[in-house]
Amino acid sequence: MKACGIIAEYNPFHKGHHYQIEQIRKQTDADVIVVAMSGNFVQRGEPAIENKWHRAKMALENGADLILELPTLSSTQATDWFAAGGVGILHAAKCHEIAFGVEDIRIDYQVAFEEWITLQARIKEDVTNDDMKSLTYASRLTLIAKESFGQNSPLYRLMQQPNQQLGFAYVKEIFSRNVPMKFLTIERKGNGHLDAKIQDEQFASGTALRKQLLKPERNPNLYAQLSYLEEISSVAYRNHWEQYWLLLKYQLERSSVEELRNIYQMDEGIEYRLKKILPQANSFYNFIQLLKNKRWTWARLQRLCLYVLLGITKKQVEKYFESIRKPNKVTVLGFNERGREYLKTLREEKTEFITNYADSSIETQKNFDNIYDIMNPSNYKSAQQFKPEIK
């Protein structure tokens, strides 16, 4: 059986995701669609708006066959390590191809990769440049690509959109590590990644949908974007950072500067700034607003706060990275009949695909999930009660 993979968050699953799955069916000869999906915490350093089991169920009901968990230690990473974790899981699941959405399907990713390779020395040199120090890696790369190759270069063009940057991270991982996997770019439809508008006839962005779902009164056009909205209760879709604010505040107050320094990504003396700003903040949103600057972006700060909340240390991540590209175990979140048959073909592989969530070997992930569950009492169930979604 041939498998095409997707790396996704489905936060929440919407019309655009359904379109992508349909296009994979039309454009590839894949028998099975395998999704490496973020668990309860996602790449921007946020709790997922709905738990991983419900999101896996929605994906299965809309055409996916097998949902595998992208663990928190991968799903909450910046772009390149997020890609490494996702590609690693799809490779372990023997996917022959990966599909991802882009704004411009005309961009040549092979040429963009070659341009990126050419610029490696320059990128490292410019890190010491005072003007470049305050910029994020993506901003530096965009600027250097424009200076080196001009505005028409594939690398510069793909860096204009966040989805294309993420897709390029997958391509870099495949080419750099000689992963035997093809890639398929699928043109995105409708609103851009950060567009906050929702219109009935368009494909709304995940950003827009999350903002609307967290409001007391919902935009009627949500029903066109989320066909399953009627299924959820009135208390669902209220999961956001503010619910965790007091717990985060407690963690920061009780931890010494030395203890905070052990937290993953706690660099550049930011631990002192966290301690200094904390008494001034009256909410999580206010806290990040007071902290952020050019160097420390909103997403970077959210990820750092999540690492503090979950107690993720530098040593823990360093050990995890040793097997991020070749995972020993992968948790199965759900499957349909095709997915079940495909799972059987993976039994002889080195990676173990876990279908029993009570398995003690995933204790670390369960500890992270417990925090998510406890902070959401309306949706809380003991971890022992969970099992893969079966369609």
At 352, phi and psi to the nearest 5?
-95, 130
**16 labelled as ligand-binding?**
yes
**7 labelled as ligand-binding?**
yes
What CA–CA distance (Å, rounded) separates 25 from 88?
23
**188 labelled as ligand-binding?**
yes
**101 labelled as ligand-binding?**
yes
**144 labelled as ligand-binding?**
no
Contact between 192 and 186 under an 8 Å Cβ cutoff? The reply is no
Which SS3 state, helix, strand or coil, does residue 16 take?
A: helix
For the stretch 286-294, contacts whose Cβ atoms lie closer than 8 Å and that sit 24 or more positions apart, written own/partner, are 287/245, 293/134, 294/134, 294/135
Closest to 103 measured CA to CA, from 163, 156, 172, 16 = 163
Residue 390 belongs to what H/E stretch? strand 389-390
**9 labelled as ligand-binding?**
yes
Contact between 94 and 349 under an 8 Å Cβ cutoff? The reply is yes
What CA–CA distance (Å, rounded) separates 272 from 277?
9
Region of 10 please: left (phi>0), alpha (psi -120 to 50) or beta: left
**13 labelled as ligand-binding?**
yes
What CA–CA distance (Å, rounded) separates 121 from 108?
22
**147 labelled as ligand-binding?**
no
**17 labelled as ligand-binding?**
yes
Contact between 87 and 173 under an 8 Å Cβ cutoff? The reply is yes
Q: Which residue has the tokens 């595998």?
A: 68
**18 labelled as ligand-binding?**
yes
What CA–CA distance (Å, rounded) separates 222 from 136?
34
**85 labelled as ligand-binding?**
no
Q: What is the CB neighbour count within 10 angstroms for residue 338? A: 17
* DSSP H helices in 28-149: 52-61, 72-75, 79-92, 109-118, 120-126, 130-133, 137-149
**67 labelled as ligand-binding?**
no
**10 labelled as ligand-binding?**
yes
Output DSSP code: residue 334: E
**163 labelled as ligand-binding?**
yes
Q: Which residue has the tokens 């930011």?
A: 270
Length of the chain measured in residues: 391
Q: Show binding-site residues.
A: 7-20, 101, 163, 188
Q: Show binding-site residues for ATP.
A: 7-20, 101, 163, 188
